Amino acid sequence: MYVFLLTILASLAALLGGYTAIHNRNRLHIAISLTAGLVLGLVAFDLLPEIFAGVMSAKLNPVMPMVLFVLGFLLFHAVEKIILVHNEAEDEYKPHTHPKLGIARAVALAGHSFFDGLSIGVAFQVSIAVGTAVALAVIGHRFADGFDTASFMLLHKNKITHIKKFLAVVVLMPILGGLSSMFVTLSQTALTMYLGFFAGILMYIAASNILPQAHAKDQSYKSLALTVLGAACMFAIVHYIRSLS
């Protein structure tokens, strides 16, 4: 039930981000900068220590989860490049529009949304502390995902009705992902490998997606300060939750 409620919150965060993009773009950099710090803090202070603990517990070669870490990073990078949604591609396509490209981004987000919900459920199989920390980071970056997707579809002249339909799909997918995790139980080895892969994806999202957006919207030190604050908050949250477990 707890996983189900958290995936609903993740869904609503993406929905809120999408509607913010449609109605108000003025203060997004605050949420994005803080989210970048939260995601970086999750990887550094929670996922990586859990991976190292899993390596020792399952007596794994530590290189293996790190290989999946790199694969996760590169896979997400490849997906974004293929659908032309990052820096150079965006600059190249600004003078003219392609509604199908906006739809491709929304479809990619729908798949990523399912993966987010699944990750929350799998993280709770490790421990309540890991599950709660992953859920917080997912909920944080879901807002940025929803905003980014709606903005991209608006840029490529997709109709508002189409954007709202895709946002409805985005709301549903994390819930389905979380529910599916309840029917899958992973071994310690599989959990450790999965966390390595997921950590790589989150690192890419933070370093190559969220942070550049925050920097583009706010050139001052305020953005940097918020990112540092987000990482510090995640450090405090992780250690507080672990002290309770």
Render pLDDT for 206-243 as a digit per residue (tens, 0 to 9).
787 667 766 665 556 777 888 898 889 888 877 776 67
What residue ranges of the chain have pLDDT lower than 70?
1, 21, 24-31, 80, 83-106, 108-109, 141, 144-145, 147-149, 151-157, 209-210, 213-220, 241-242, 244-245
- Which residues, other chains included, contact 89 with Cβ-Cβ below 8 Å and sequence gap of 6+? 81
- Which residues, other chains included, contact 5 with Cβ-Cβ below 8 Å and sequence gap of 6+? none
Q: What pLDDT is stored for residue 174 in this prediction?
A: 86
Q: Is the pTM of this model over 0.75?
A: no
User: In terms of C-beta distances under 8 Å and separation of at least 24 residues, what long-range contacts does 22-26 make, across chains too?
Assistant: 22/150, 22/154, 22/160, 22/163, 25/151
Q: Quick check: 143 and 21 in contact, CB under 8 A?
A: no
C-alpha–C-alpha distance, residues 153 and 165, integer Å: 12
Q: What pLDDT is stored for residue 207 in this prediction?
A: 82
Q: What pLDDT is stored for residue 1 in this prediction?
A: 67
Q: What pLDDT is stored for residue 74 in this prediction?
A: 92
Single-letter amino acid, residue 192: T
Q: What pLDDT is stored for residue 88 in this prediction?
A: 45
C-alpha–C-alpha distance, residues 175 and 182, integer Å: 11
Q: What pLDDT is stored for residue 118 in this prediction?
A: 86
Q: What pLDDT is stored for residue 240 in this prediction?
A: 76
Q: What pLDDT is stored for residue 126 in this prediction?
A: 78
Q: CA-CA distances (angstroms) from residue 44 to 39, 48, 55, 135, 203?
A: 9, 6, 16, 15, 9
Q: What pLDDT is stored for residue 68 in this prediction?
A: 95
- CA triplet 206, 210, 211: central angle to 5 degrees? 85
